[in-house]
Structure 1
């Protein structure tokens, strides 16, 4: 089940990547799961887009539904 913390973790990880920081494999995996939960939990199209873009920034691939 997704929580508000999932969305925050997802976006924070993407921001780190966008700022040029390197995430550890554990951080990537944690962020990937958090982004996935956030994507599936939100009904907002705008938020889905934000989380999908964050997922891409963290993993380098698009979220698969």
Structure 2
């Protein structure tokens, strides 16, 4: 079926969503990661990157 991603803003909203899901016999899965950590990783992924030629790994790093 369809997956829903919800972002409760506080513990009360989270508890209410879990209670509704339980009443409707819908399975609930939570992420083991802190949202601040996830945001930090996503921000880092948008940073600069360097393309490395696998045939010339040391030369393409420009370590001069």
- The TM-score, its normalising length taken from structure 2, stands at 0.35
| Structure having the larger proportion of residues in helix | 1
- Greater Rg, structure 1 or structure 2? 2
- The TM-score, its normalising length taken from structure 1, stands at 0.34
Larger RCO (CA under 8 A, 6+ residues apart)? 1
